[in-house]
A and B are shown apart, each in its own frame.
Chain A
Amino acid sequence: MELVFALVIGALTSSGVYLILRARTFPVVVGLTLLSYGVNLFLFSSGRLATGQQPIIGTAASYADPLPQALVLTAIVIGFAMTAFVVVLSLRNLADNEDDHVDGKQPYKSPAPEEEEEVTGK
């Protein structure tokens, strides 16, 4: 069980990280969301995995660690706020630069030659 859970977190993290390194706002936003899923699961699991022990007094013999759950709940909501903001920001970027490249348009291009491919291309 633990291994499966660990693999899940690993998968979420790596796909998130990969997308964050893309050059367009949309994949970056998706990547951040995936990463936050991974992080939430990780933070949640820092209280260890428990089956059928929901921390509601009187419903079980022993209870899962409720604190990480509370933390994750906070994290989810904050994460939602942040996602919403960054989505809107990328829309604003789209509106301002008629383009959804993370570095905006031409004047923002890097002068350093080896960066060209990283930023060019519409």
Chain B
Amino acid sequence: MSLPLVVLLPFLGAVAAPLFAQGGRTAIAVASSVPALIALAALFPHWETLADGGVVLHSYEWLPAMGLSFSFRLDGLSLLFALLILIIGLLIILYARYYLKAYENVGKFYALLLCFKGSMLGIVLSSNLLLMMIFWELTSLTSFLLISFWTHKQDARRGARMALAVTGGGGLALLAGILIIGNIVGSFELDDVLAAGDQIKAHAMYPVALTLVLLGAFTKSAQFPFHFWLPHAMQAPTPVSAYLHSATMVKAGIFLMARLYPALAGTEQWFYMVSFTGMATLLIGAYVAMFKHDLKGLLAHSTVSHLGLITLLFGMGTQLAAVAAVFHVINHAIFKASLFMAAGIIDHETGTRDMRRINGLWRYMPHTATLAMVAASSMAGVPLLNGFLSKEMFFAESLELNLPGLIAWLPPIVATLAGIFAVAYSARFIHDVFFNGKPVDLPIYPPHEPPRYMKIPVEILVFACIMVGLFPAVAVGPLLFLAASATLGGEVPEYTLAIFHGFNLPLFMSFVAFFGGLLMYSQRQRFFDFHARFREIDEKAVFENIVLRIVDLANSVTARLENGSLQRYALLLLVSVIAVAAMPLLDLGIFVGENGLSPVDAPTAIAAAVLILCAFATAGLHRQRFYALVLLSVVGLVVALAFARFSAPDLAMTQLSVEVVTIVLLMLAIYYMHPWTPVETPLKRRVRDIAIAGVAGIGMTLVTLAMLTQPFSSISEFFLANSKPGGGGTNVVNVILVDFRGFDTLGEITVLAIAALGIYAMLKDTALTPPPSDGAGHAWARDAHPLMLSLIARPMLPLALMVSAFIFLRGHNLPGGGFIAGLITSIALILQYIASGMEWTEDRIRLRYHNVIGLGLLFATVAGLGSFAFGYPFLTSTFDYITWPVVGKFEVASALIFDLGVYLAVIGATLLSLVTVGRLSPHSAIRPKQEGA
């Protein structure tokens, strides 16, 4: 249980820490250090197990389907990193307490810092690669938030986004790599993966997997060509830089290489990719570091260079090199953290980090100076300090590589050259800052020593530098051994952690580096002049530019495609439909099924001709809107006739009544619209549209033809057979509507109702002014409601009501039913509105159509619910026969109540819609009533 605890505690702490923010910086700092202390205590007992060559494994099932388990693993390597993360983390917390100003958002800072620490611990302790992946990306996210802690600084924001893009992007590559490895091995558990090294390297996908994994590692560890994000991450508060860029974040990539060393290393590809990347990074970082005037900039580039050094060591692939790599991880973490802190102190006390301004600080802060100088010497690889030891090992290894021909000389030369640079920039760090004349107009003058406790972390780390430098075997021997053996998967080569290995080539290389470096520093002005010839590129600006370019590009692409033109979208839709239907229909061709064609009678032919003509005419004359409307209504009528002709009386009646209502609505509409449509689309587009329309028409014709001439049998036999006995009605269509498929009908009247409510809501606060005259320029007739019309209309209402009642009642047996009856009633009512105007009508017909609609839906639903009472499903109907005066023998089906609902809903919906439209115009005689709803 202790390992998951170690990882999760910091996250809990992150939640708790802000609560202490009220108590001041000390309180929160103390609170934040609790998780680390507990974690250290929790790790301590495991030392025994590891020392005996064992591993601690705490594993819990999580998502086996995914291969993701909640499992943690402690061995030498993870212990080493965990200790670095925890101990340096503690020092950072203490340091930050004095670095941050009281007014800053310390709660946020410590919370994020703890989240980051937890994620780092997760990476190094996870025993499941997917789990590690989660923590990996979490470090990208948390570091993004830490780097941009000062959100008001543009540089901070940009640096953070750049870091996120590079490391997060690399993370995605890593994810792909890990998934491939998981596929190969069949498990994401570290033990399985490490055991399956040969299997992985033999697999065809190995090159891909390796490349992807290395992409992840290199981006995280700022390897060339991805190194550029790291220096810009220096916009973060110094404690963050000291933590992320010495011991943790950038070491994650290194850790990954060490972790997967047994599984992936040892191949040609590994050697070339890793070692040459490392070499390039080592050299470039060291070279650039010399010319940085910014204190932290110098340290950042030196970090890049040291990371390259470690990478190169791993790339070499020899066991000793790996040991040296692990050793240098420790040393670099120690001296670089202390240097960053020192730089932070200087920044804190002088108000600047520009080395051209901070000089001769020795006189003002000798204590800090001493510490910084020791650490810097360690960075330069001065003997008797820890940096020297691992560097010596590195030089030795660089000679061991068996490369063909002259290339064999490349590593040692690069190593020495980098060494020279390192000494030079370290010398500059020491000499420029602490000696070299007087300070140049510092923002804070005179500078003085920082608060006592701010120096303690630095002192501890510097002390460690010396201890490791003098007594390596005692100080880090055991830990290093465990870590190395874990890295190499068991077997550890012979190596001695001695200060002096006798006079040999590596020692000579160190001398060359040391004196070469001093010489170079003494001649620095020349190098500066030389370097000044090249324009310095600001990667941040470049990155921003690229992003902006991408955004602009995306923008223009989107604007071209999503151009807000309905014509375009409709075209795309119609063309897609035609395209997908084309294939099968071409197979079909002109096909006449075995039923053949039946003869045509003259009336039908004439009607058809009329219909086709009117349809085309409507399209042709659509600019004269009124004529188009007239033609449209003719089409509608003929369609009704067609239904009647082909034995669908109900359809005919419905079509007819719907037609009337629709035309009335459209008439109302064009009253507000321009009487004609302007010509605006060019000929070529119209031709194109005609072509598309033609294709669509031909397609439909062919399908219909094929369809109509095919023999056919359907489930309708059942309806015909059961309509009377089961549904109690002889009009099968109506029985289907109210019984067999009553649920469709319920849905459909709901649609009507919603449409009406929607229309009402949409026009509630809209007003339209109709054009003063019709198309031909005649003004509208003065008298709103012609007398004749109203005289005829009024007596028609009761008549119409009787008719609709009749139609309604007979609906179950003969053509008719709720719909048609409802529509007839509506038409009659509309006629009243047209004839006598809103006010007159509304004074007499006191209906709130919302309620009519609601009532209709309610009747239909309740009729359906009734059957629940008898244990039958929704909409089950029952019926009985009674004899009525006029209608004669008549059967009352419970479906009749349902149909009544339909009737009401239709009336309510139709009238609500039309009346709302009629009210639109503020100038018409109708004043919109102030009713909401």
Contact = CB atoms under 8 A, between A and B. Distances in A.
B917 interface: yes
Nearest to A79: B658
A45 B570 contact: no
Interface in B445-477: none
A66 B616 CA distance: 30
10 contacts: A2-B705, A12-B611, A17-B693, A29-B666, A34-B635, A56-B813, A58-B730, A84-B759, A115-B568, A118-B567
A64 B176 CA distance: 61
A51 B647 contact: yes
Given A14-B693, A42-B700, A70-B737, A117 B680 contact: yes
B685 interface: yes
A62 B732 CA distance: 13
A88 B913 contact: yes
A51 B646 contact: yes
Contacts of A79: 658
Which applies to chain A's interface (DSSP): helix, strand, loop or mixed?
A: helix
A118 B681 contact: yes
B204 to A, nearest CB: 46
B416 to A, nearest CB: 59
A44 B643 contact: yes
B648 A21 contact: no
Contacts of B707: 45-46
Nearest to A21: B689
Interface in B847-872: none
Contact of A54 (B648, B669, B704): B648
Contacts of A7: 608, 612, 701
Contacts of A38: 700
Given A57-B732, A121-B680, A9 B700 contact: yes
B563 A110 contact: yes
Given A18-B619, A67-B719, A87-B666, 11 more contacts: A5-B708, A11-B611, A14-B696, A14-B700, A34-B635, A40-B639, A50-B646, A59-B730, A77-B654, A78-B752, A81-B751
Contact of A13 (B560, B639, B696, B709): B696
Which applies to chain B's interface (DSSP): helix, strand, loop or mixed?
A: helix
A18 B693 contact: yes
B775 interface: no
A37 B716 CA distance: 24
A16 B815 CA distance: 30
B665 interface: yes
B720 A88 contact: no
Interface in B670-705: 670, 672-674, 677-682, 685, 689-690, 692-694, 696-705
A42 to B, nearest CB: 6
B563 A56 contact: no
Interface in B315-359: none
Contacts of A89: 762
In the complex, which of the residues B616, B643, B733, B744 has the most CB atoms of chain A within 10 Å of its own CB atom?
Answer: B733
Nearest to B760: A88
Interface residues of B, number: 121
Nearest to A72: B651
Nearest to B571: A21
Interface in B639-663: 639, 642-643, 645-651, 654-655, 658, 661-662
A11 to B, nearest CB: 4
B669 A91 contact: yes
B580 interface: no
B566 A103 contact: yes
In the complex, which of the residues A30, A111, A117 has the most CB atoms of chain B within 10 Å of its own CB atom?
Answer: A30
Given A8-B642, A14-B696, A103-B565, A121 B678 contact: yes
Interface in A59-91: 59-60, 63-67, 69-74, 76-85, 87-91
Nearest to B598: A1
A66 B567 contact: no
Nearest to A119: B565
B563 A115 contact: yes
A6 B762 CA distance: 39
Contacts of A112: 559-560, 563
A39 B714 CA distance: 20
B56 interface: no
Contact of A67 (B564, B632, B690, B714): B714
